[in-house]
Amino acid sequence: MSDDLLKLEKDIVDVDLYLKFRKSVNWKELTRPQAKKALENSLCTLCVTLAGQPIGMGRLVGDGSVICYIQDLIIHPNAQGMGVGSLLIQGFIDYVKSITEDGTEMMLDLMCAKGREEFYTKHGFIARPTDCLGPGMIMYIRK
């Protein structure tokens, strides 16, 4: 797919589009208030469109100074393998570089699905654990 056909857009993802993307890949359903709050508390969202149609998205969360996380990187199943994920990852890397203060370092983290490590390592991410970095950890809190 030619890169000039894909367009990367910032902060155009609304609640309906976010929920539609999540449903397209069979992710856990969110309530509309959850989705709204998640988007409002994101540092930014990126969306890739093809001929004006959204085909991939992601959110960046964090404090914007010490650490940021790429969250909800979703590529519509019909658009997988077209370079959409790479375009989104590079967009987030560029954005984080642009907000990193001179003379400082920011961590850019993510949690990848099992089997997707190679995709992220080719973009410069370090798979954990390593000799000096332990495994990523997670806890789900249900109410």
Domain residue ranges of the chain, discontinuous segments joined by +: 3-121
Q: How far apart are CA 118 and CA 127, in angstroms?
A: 9
pLDDT at 114: 87
Rounded Cα gap, residues 18 and 90, in angstroms: 20
| Spatial contact of 44 and 95, defined as CB atoms under 8 Å apart | yes
Low-confidence ranges of the chain (pLDDT < 70): 1-4
- What is the pLDDT, as a whole number, of residue 75? 97
Quick one: pLDDT at residue 45?
98
- The pTM score is 0.92
- pLDDT given at position 113: 85
**Which residue in the block uniquely carries the two structure tokens 């907000």?**
99
Fold of 3-121: Aminopeptidase (3.40.630)
Query: Which pLDDT score, from 0 to 100, does residue 95 have?
Result: 97
> What are the φ and ψ backbone dihedral angles of 121, each rounded to 5 degrees?
-65, -30
